Structure 1
Amino acid sequence: MGIEIERKFLVKDDSFKKDASEKHLYQQGYIEGPFMATVRVRIIEDTGYITIKSKSVNFTRYEYEYEIPLTDAQEMLTNLCGNKMEKYRHIVWFEGKRWEVDEFIGENKGLFVAELELKSEEEAFALPNWLGEEVTHDFRYRNSFISQNPFNTWE
């Protein structure tokens, strides 16, 4: 069983970029339906993935992710996903923790969100100085919401 324990924060500035060890382009979309979970199709560079995530309880949710053929992911994004988005994901190591900082592009340009996956909800971690407000429980910062409600349309 896959479990994701994740915390999300807004990013105050782009000073994290000087410490980023990797940067990858993500293209992703969501398959809509009356599911009790979110179904995401994603392409990272030249690899396709399909992911199923349950609703969160506190900081935890079930997550199942599988690599799929690139052509299948491309076809799913084109034919099954009405809401799509793109972002760059920067990997930044800070005090032994791997932070994923998403720099959204297109209609979501200007939005930066940092994520940290943990082993337990009680796991301690240090906060980099480029972090802002925690938004873990704010549904507006979920990628599935952002894909339907672009950041640049928010009031």
Structure 2
Amino acid sequence: MSIETERRFLVKNKEWQVLIKKCIKIRQGYLSTDFQEWITRIRIINNQRSYITIKNSKGGMQSHEFEYKIPIHDAESIWHLLNYKLIKQRYLLDLNPGSWVVDCFKNENSPLVIAEVELEAPELDVMIPDWCGKELTGQKQWSNAALAKFPLSKWPQEDRKKLADL
């Protein structure tokens, strides 16, 4: 069983961009989005590689996660059948400790920008960069599955205004 440990943050500014070492386009579609059960997603990377992932939160910053490569034509077929989808540009950063990425959401979730750091263990200390804002770890409404189901553009106007203040 694979355990993923990650922390997530809203991004306040563009200072992180000097740390970019790679950019990938990600399309994610969700077969299930029930937070009480397992979440199942299809991920297509740069229109070339694809995976099916099954996740279940352990609470806080940890999740059970199983990911398997699947044929791209199968992923594309499934993608077109799904109702809950999102598209984002993922930037891999040259920043340690941890494995840092910044996701810039597109379409209905634009202009949302979220940073994630994947850690080897939950007790590991990590320095949070100044460009990180409010921590989103463990807040299900900010998960990718929730953003696919309830995109930012569908949030009430007052909630979107609050986002600018975070």
TM class by smaller structure: over 0.9
- Structure 1 distance, partners of 2:64, 2:85, is 22
CA distance in 1, matches of 2:106, 2:26: 10
Contact 2:33 2:145 in 1 (8 A): no
* Cα displacement (A) at 1:137: 1.9
1:99-153: CA deviation from partner (whole Å, max 9, x where unpaired): 1110000011110111111111110111111110111021111000000111122
Q: Counterparts of 1:85 and 1:118 in 2: how far apart (Å)? A: 24
Match of 2:53 in 1: 51
Question: Quick check: 1:30–1:39 contact (8 Å CA) kept in 2?
Answer: yes
Give the root-mean-square deviation of aligned CA atoms: 1.5
2:5 aligns with 5
Does residue 1:83 correspond to 2:84, yes or no?
yes
> How many Å separate the matches in 2 of 1:33 and 1:152?
18
Alignment identity in percent? 33
**What is the TM-score when the length of structure 1 is the normalising length?**
0.93
Matches within 5 A, 1:2-151: 2-32=2-32, 36-45=37-46, 46-79=48-81, 81-151=82-152
SS at match of 2:147: helix
- 3-state DSSP class of the match of 1:103? strand
Which structure has greater strand proportion?
Answer: 1
Give the TM-score of the pair, scaled to structure 2. Answer: 0.87
CA contact (8 A) 1:10 1:134 kept: yes
Matched-pair contact (CA < 8 Å) for 2:90–2:103:
yes
Preserved contact between residue 23 and residue 90 of structure 1 (Cα < 8 Å): yes
How far residue 61 of structure 1 moved from its aligned partner, in angstroms, is: 1.3
Distance in 1 separating the partners of 2:33 and 2:127: 38
Structure 1: tracts of 5 or more residues without a match: none
Maintained 8 Å contact 2:8/2:137: yes
The superposition leaves residues 16-67 of structure 1 with CA deviations (integer Å, 9 ceiling, x where unpaired) of: 1121101110011100377820000010011011000012322111100011
